[in-house]
Amino acid sequence: MTLTLQPIKVATGFDEDGMIVLDEKQRLVAVLVHLSDENEVAPGQWYLEAGFGRLDGINHPVFADLDAAQEWISQCLARGR
């Protein structure tokens, strides 16, 4: 699955940038946030701030980088087919 990422500012209350993640039909499937260095549990990692459809739920993992995040999202979406 080809995902499209677009940078976006996310109002988490911290100085954090994020990415909106769109699927091949340009539907919003997830919002990822690059956690600030102030975060004490996963500084600098990517956090699944919100997921939609197949990604909606209580599972909000953190990823070392965007590649890992995209792979996880792709797998979740593929499982739903």
Partner 1 sequence: MHASFPSQDNPLIRKLESIFTLTDDERQALQNLSMQLAVIKEDQDIVREGDRPSRSCLILSGFTATYKITAGGKRQIVTFGMAGDIPDLQSLHLKVLDISIGTLTQCRVGFITHDDLRNLCTRYPRITAAFWRETLIEGAIFREWVTNVGRREAYNRMAHMLCELLVRLRAVGLVEGYSCDLPITQGEFADALGITTVHVNRVLQQMRADGLIELKGDRLNIPDWEKLKQAGEFDPTYLHLEIDQAAA
74 binds partner 1 (CB under 8 A): no
Residues 12-71 that bind partner 1 (CB under 8 A): 12-14, 35, 38-42, 47, 58, 60, 62
In whole angstroms, give the CA distance from residue 58 to residue 23.
21
Nearer to partner 1 among residue 40 and residue 81 (C-beta): 40
* Burial class, 28, CB count within 10 angstroms (exposed 0-12 / middle 13-18 / buried 19+): middle
Residues forming contacts to partner 1 in the complex (CB under 8 A) are: 12-14, 35, 38-42, 47, 58, 60, 62
